[in-house]
Structure 1
Amino acid sequence: MDILWQYQFRIILLGDSTVGKSSLLKRFTDGIYSDVADPTVGVDFYARSLDIEPGIKIKLQLWDTAGQERFRSITTSYYRNSVGGLLMFDLTNRKTFEHVREWHREVSEDILPHHMVYILVGHKSDLGRERKVTRDEAEQLAAELGVRYVETSAKCNSNVERAFDLLMRDIYELMKMGEIAKRDGWDGVKSGLTAKVLYPAEEEAEREKGCNC
């Protein structure tokens, strides 16, 4: 039986084939890692629920997209129904880093006039000696795209939780500010059976001040 949740966020993982999207998701959702991974064909689905604050559980619906060009027509149909995206590259493969802008542009243009919340992820940080992209370069790209940056390793389970937690919290804060809202016919954000009404911070403080309970 599904754990009760207040909100569901639909997240999509983006990046070239072999950057480790499936490995990151399996580590995050199942706590396992394998050196052998079959290429994703089309789209795979994962899910996990997390507590974001007392009494508020977020269900992350996670979509692993194929990085190969021949599957692009399949994966693009999932862009519009996502509220967040992990832009991933392989720290040991410079071409995957150079392609991040293309992924960002493709998705951003496809979902206009709406926008998606991104986080930039440099994966395979355990392979330090084979590194081809410096942290400074990656942080500069993140700054240009206006997103956070985190380096992860599914193999060592380094910053895996942090990557998803940062993205989830950014989306949640934008919801509280009213910049992200549920829309008819859109699956990016859904409410559970016990959804909490979100108010801006100032209004929330006033409500608590006036509460006699």
Structure 2
Amino acid sequence: MADSFDEECDYLFKAVLIGDSAVGKSNLLSRFARDEFHLDSKPTIGVEFAYRNVKVGDKLIKAQIWDTAGQERFRAITSSYYRGALGALLVYDITRSPTFNSVKKWLTELRDFGNPDMVVVLVGNKSDLGHSREVDLEQGKSLAEAENLCFMETSALQNLNVEEAFLEMINRIHKITSQKVLEAKSSEAVGNGLQAGKEIVQLDHDEVTATKQTGCCYR
């Protein structure tokens, strides 16, 4: 079944969910992939992943989202999973300022192990717990602007902005990828380096890489 879907989809986009432990990464993914939320969800051990089909224009995209453990003892394991990722959701918990303070550490890891030009969306999760807020909305916006990231606050519990955060990332990857494919076909047309008839459809490899985004949304 998976093989047949791979043949039918136009693109395969790999992305990762990163951030400290217990910020809600797994529930964001389960909400996006299966529209499920589990109050008793357990910490991720190592790496898990899920798929979802997304239609962007006339293209069918298979989004492959990897959920990485936030615990320090798993960091060496998860670093290899950045390879081939075209996007990342970097998540913190608005009710725990230490998770926000860790964002720059996670960005450093992204830039050390991943494509430095990947699409990154900064996500402040658990916006339903505003009465316990320790990180202001403006703090998230300011950091995102400084680091050239997209930014949204979400609630996996209330299903608020979860779809929007993932689709923002996927749409931006698709825009970048479409431009790369056009450039590749243009090069092919003038005989500069690509085999005739070659189609690039699975982008979790190094054949197409993301270019740095300019401008973004702030919610």
Structure-1-length-normalised TM-score: 0.82
Aligned partner letter, 2:30: K
How does 1:132-211 map onto structure 2 within 5 Å? 132-178=134-180, 187-188=204-205
CA 1:104–1:59 in structure 2 vs 1: closer, same or farther (change >3 Å)? same
Partner secondary structure for residue 154 of structure 1:
coil
Question: Which residue in 2 is equivalent to 1:129?
Answer: 131
Correspondence 1:84 to 2:87: yes
Distance (Å, rounded) in 2 between the aligned partners of 1:67 and 1:91 = 16
Structure-2-length-normalised TM-score: 0.80
Instruction: Tell me by how many angstroms 1:107 deviates.
Output: 1.3
Residues 91 and 125, structure 1, Cα contact 8 Å, conserved in 2: yes
Partner secondary structure for residue 140 of structure 1:
helix
Aligned partner letter, 1:31: D
Structure 1 gaps, min length 5: 192-213
How does 1:79-118 map onto structure 2 within 5 Å? 79-111=82-114, 114-118=116-120
The runs of 4+ residues in structure 1 deviating greater than 4 Å are 179-183, 188-191
Residues 95 and 135, structure 2, Cα contact 8 Å, conserved in 1: yes
Greater percentage in helix: 2
Correspondence 1:73 to 2:81: no
Distance (Å, rounded) in 1 between the aligned partners of 2:120 and 2:206 = 15
Post-superposition CA distance 1:10-40 (Å, at most 9, x none): 0100100000000100111111111111110
Say what the alpha-carbon RMSD is for the aligned residues: 2.4
Correspondence 1:10 to 2:27: no
Partner secondary structure for residue 71 of structure 1:
helix
Post-superposition CA distance 1:172-206 (Å, at most 9, x none): 111123299899x9725789xxxxxxxxxxxxxxx
Distance (Å, rounded) in 2 between the aligned partners of 1:110 and 1:166 = 23
The alignment covers a number of residue pairs equal to 188
Question: Which residue in 2 is equivalent to 1:210?
Answer: none
Residues 79 and 110, structure 1, Cα contact 8 Å, conserved in 2: yes
Task: Determine which of 55, 60, 77 is the counterpart of 1:57.
Answer: 60
Structure 2 gaps, min length 5: 185-198, 209-219
Identity in percent: 41
Correspondence 1:37 to 2:41: yes
Distance (Å, rounded) in 2 between the aligned partners of 1:111 and 1:174 = 17
Distance (Å, rounded) in 2 between the aligned partners of 1:186 and 1:31 = 26
CA 1:186–1:56 in structure 2 vs 1: closer, same or farther (change >3 Å)? closer
Distance (Å, rounded) in 2 between the aligned partners of 1:120 and 1:189 = 24
